[in-house]
Chain A
Amino acid sequence: DTGVSQNPRHKITKRGQNVTFRCDPISEHNRLYWYRQTLGQGPEFLTYFQNEAQLEKSRLLSDRFSAERPKGSFSTLEIQRTEQGDSAMYLCASSLAGAGTGRNTEAFFGQGTRLTVV
């Protein structure tokens, strides 16, 4: 397995445009998380999925943000009408949560997508 993969690695967009990022988790992992990291800060939780169900969303996730995981495998994060304040590193992570089986792993992170809104 090659780990968590995120594409693109870098994205520069003009203010007001829409952008979409993709995350491919580790294949057996049923949980997938999105975080945002701004310069000099730690990652901030945005949302997470268990399989295809989105179970929690942070207040940071405004109406312009939407995340999907349609088949419980890869996920997309879309930002509509981007603003300069959206400039950040967007991190994806995945983990295995096996209720009742004791098979729980920590979160493995991808290298992130760096978004610059100009």
Chain B
Amino acid sequence: GDSVTQMEGPVTLSEEAFLTINCTYTATGYPSLFWYVQYPGEGLQLLLKATKADDKGSNKGFEATYRKETTSFHLEKGSVQVSDSAVYFCALSPQGGGYNKLIFGAGTRLAVHP
């Protein structure tokens, strides 16, 4: 079945460091791919998305590119801030499913220190 694998955390960085959180997926066809973020005490929020191969999603300085050939959707940010500390979830929605169902990875906790 469809699945998402993301790097284990926690990831601990100093402010202004470069961030990469790896995400790979297994799915038939062409799923849509997402990164969600969960700040402490808050609900899941959509951070960015890509719906077809080679699309780049971007938001708040974060980027991720849909790579069909490597079945990956790695999250990157050039310079992290303390306020980026949160849990990040990679997710997919199966092909043709619209937003019917999301399959999530286990999440990666990011801690950014001043």
Contact = CB atoms under 8 A, between A and B. Distances in A.
Interface of A: 3-4, 31, 33, 35, 40-45, 48, 55-56, 91, 93, 95, 97, 104-112
A43 B99 contact: no
Contacts of B107: 40-42
Interface of B: 4, 34, 36, 41-46, 49, 89, 91, 98-107
Which label, helix, strand, loop or mixed, suits the secondary structure of the A interface?
strand
A45 B4 CA distance: 13
A2 to B, nearest CB: 12
A41 B107 CA distance: 7
B105 to A, nearest CB: 5
A42 B91 contact: yes
Nearest to A47: B101
Nearest to A111: B43
A62 B50 CA distance: 33
9 contacts: A31-B99, A41-B106, A43-B102, A44-B104, A45-B103, A104-B99, A106-B34, A106-B49, A109-B44
A97 B98 contact: yes
B43 A91 contact: yes
A42 B106 contact: yes
A103 B104 CA distance: 24
Nearest to B107: A42
A110 to B, nearest CB: 6
A45 B43 contact: no
B38 to A, nearest CB: 9
Contact of A40 (B36, B44, B45, B106): B106
A106 B103 contact: no
